[in-house]
């Protein structure tokens, strides 16, 4: 009997799959942070974006575009965040690469400026001046 954890993205039930191609598939996030939060996942079990083959990379980008077009038609978000947590130190909790496509809606945050920069709140607000850090 295997003691290895079961990957939630390997063997997804077909009814969860919205779009697919030979290399990747699209599903809605099971724990969405906004309405329509979507994941694009390679079929091959790899942890890092940097381990994608050229074919897989192209396939993920193609499906990202398809998912965005569908979300734009169905939900009309004002914008999108696209994100990857690549490695445990970056917050990756499922060690199977997945690209988050997060629809953003006008008013969903009081001030959305900075987007993904808010993972480090003390450095996110670069436009106000006091947090400026010179590049090393």
Q: Give the domain ranges of the chain.
A: 14-107
Name the pLDDT band for 3 (thresholds 50, 70, 90).
low
Residues catalogued as catalytic? 98
Phi and psi of 23, rounded to 5°? -115, -15
Least confident of 1-10, 33-42, 60-69, 106-115: 1-10
User: pTM of the full predicted structure?
Assistant: 0.88
pLDDT at 132 over 60: no
Q: Which two tokens stand for residue 14?
A: 């077909």
Architecture of domain 14-107: 2-Layer Sandwich (3.30)
Name the pLDDT band for 124 (thresholds 50, 70, 90).
confident
Q: Are strands 38-42 and 24-28 parallel, antiparallel or unpaired?
A: antiparallel
Question: Average pLDDT for residues 60-65, to the nearest whole number?
Answer: 98
How far is residue 8 from each of residues 13, 34, 117, measured CA to CA in Å?
Answer: 10, 20, 28
- The number of C-alpha atoms within 13 Å of 85 and in the hemisphere containing its C-beta is 12
CB-CB contact of 80 with 116 (8 Å)? no
- % of residues, the chain, pLDDT over 70: 89
């Amino acid at each position: 009997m295997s003691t290895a954890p079961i990957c939630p993205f390997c063997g997804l039930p077909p009814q969860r799959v919205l779009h697919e191609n030979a290399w990747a598939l699209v599903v809605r996030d099971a724990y969405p942070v906004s309405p329509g939060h979507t994941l694009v996942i390679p079929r091959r079990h790899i942890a890092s974006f940097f381990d994608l083959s050229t074919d897989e990379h192209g396939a993920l980008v193609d499906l990202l575009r398809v998912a965005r077009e569908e979300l734009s038609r169905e939900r009309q978000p004002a914008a999108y965040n696209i994100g990857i947590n690549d490695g445990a130190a970056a917050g990756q909790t499922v060690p199977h690469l997945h690209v988050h496509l997060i629809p953003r809606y006008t008013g969903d945050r009081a001030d959305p400026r900075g987007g993904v920069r808010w993972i480090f709140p003390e450095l996110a607000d670069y436009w106000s001046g006091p947090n400026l850090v010179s590049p090393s």
